[in-house]
Chains A and B, each alone.
Chain A
């Protein structure tokens, strides 16, 4: 069976454009049937695949600066697909797909040991402490393309994989095996009012994400654009989510070593 060229789906987020509005988080919750509770203030217990962090340069007033950092799953490639979570999963519930570069999570396979949560350096994985309960009538607005998770399993961002599946469905019907750039876009990308998120195939020079990042694919996708950085680059996890900024202190915060005093 012929197989189209391998994709390496990735994302670049412009931190200088991000206003921290949280539209990406809301779009993600709605798209992926993410459960919430009446009181979701304890972020160790709540679930959100996309989370916007607030960074500060820690300087007093005239020089104080803030930056908002949206954090989806980084879809680490590691060495040959051995991302931190995939390496430790004892249930084969999480997997790295060489065809798409997406780290999958199969909820029905996961038994909730949370080893992956301990292994993930980015805190992208979250545990369902309760069965999801939807406000009356809201269950009719759930996305039928994404399965709802039960209590006791881990979940995380899938780069809206259901959108990839439905886009492929249409392509197959039209006799194509390749998707165009705009056919598969994540919910957060489309929701961002500032256009700060760019999503596409890092292997494809025609895609905007490739043009911005200029990834050095021989070296784990290291960005060649000096304004682009990845979180905790020194760990060698080779994430496929890149951040773009012209502010030096933000770039330094992306590889946050313990400050020597």
Chain B
């Protein structure tokens, strides 16, 4: 590594000679700054806008309104099945229990009844928290055994009056809620992201006993399938 030392003084002398033609030097610096700003704009604004395609939910569901009426909070519609699996987004059969006909003159409810209830069509809900195929998540382990609130992972969605847009990554096909909405990956709340690191962070804090020989942490098969 002798060469850089010997070449340093010569390059300095070159730049000294350049400064005599000062207009060219300033133009290069300006060009560099403009280029940097343009790349940053592309990387932070244009690329994310291109990467995600946005969709609206088929029906704009009002969680806050329903939460006031039902008896068991979230579990009234998002419940456990008998075999321990979690039902997730409700099926039409559960909606019909109350919405055989429109209960109000809310145009969204009337549209829901006309488009889905009357023809008996399932609502194609877009699931924000849909994980990749290789992930096994047990709601029973977290909610029943761990005593974790729904909002810890899903946020205060139960208090929302309108469903937020659903963004899907065009390359991976996964919901943006998995990677998080902040393009820099900054996380302020526990529900901001649903990546593997976020699962692992909580598992480390909760001191979930690890059985892995390789990592001394949780075994991989705890959350993978």
Contact = CB atoms under 8 A, between A and B. Distances in A.
Interface of A: 1, 3, 6, 80-82, 86, 89, 92-93, 95-100, 102, 104, 106-109, 145-148, 158, 161-162, 165-166, 168-175, 177
A173 B85 CA distance: 9
Interface of B: 80, 83-85, 132-134, 136, 138, 140-141, 144-145, 206-209, 211-215, 219-221, 224-225
A100 B221 CA distance: 10
A96 B207 contact: no
B83 A104 contact: no
Given A109-B220, A165-B136, A172-B141, A1 B213 contact: no
Contact of B215 (A95, A108, A171): A95
Contact of A146 (B212, B215, B225): B225
A174 to B, nearest CB: 8
A161 B141 contact: no
A104 B141 CA distance: 20
A18 B165 CA distance: 57
A99 B134 contact: no
30 contacts: A1-B208, A1-B209, A80-B213, A86-B214, A89-B214, A92-B215, A95-B212, A96-B214, A97-B211, A99-B211, A104-B221, A107-B134, A108-B134, A147-B133, A147-B224, A148-B133, A162-B136, A162-B225, A165-B225, A166-B85, A168-B141, A169-B84, A169-B85, A172-B141, A172-B144, A172-B145, A173-B80, A174-B84, A175-B144, A175-B145
Contacts of B141: 168-169, 172
A147 B225 contact: yes
Contacts of B213: 80-82, 86, 95-98
A161 B215 CA distance: 20
A143 B83 CA distance: 16
Contacts of A106: 134, 220-221, 224
B225 A95 contact: no
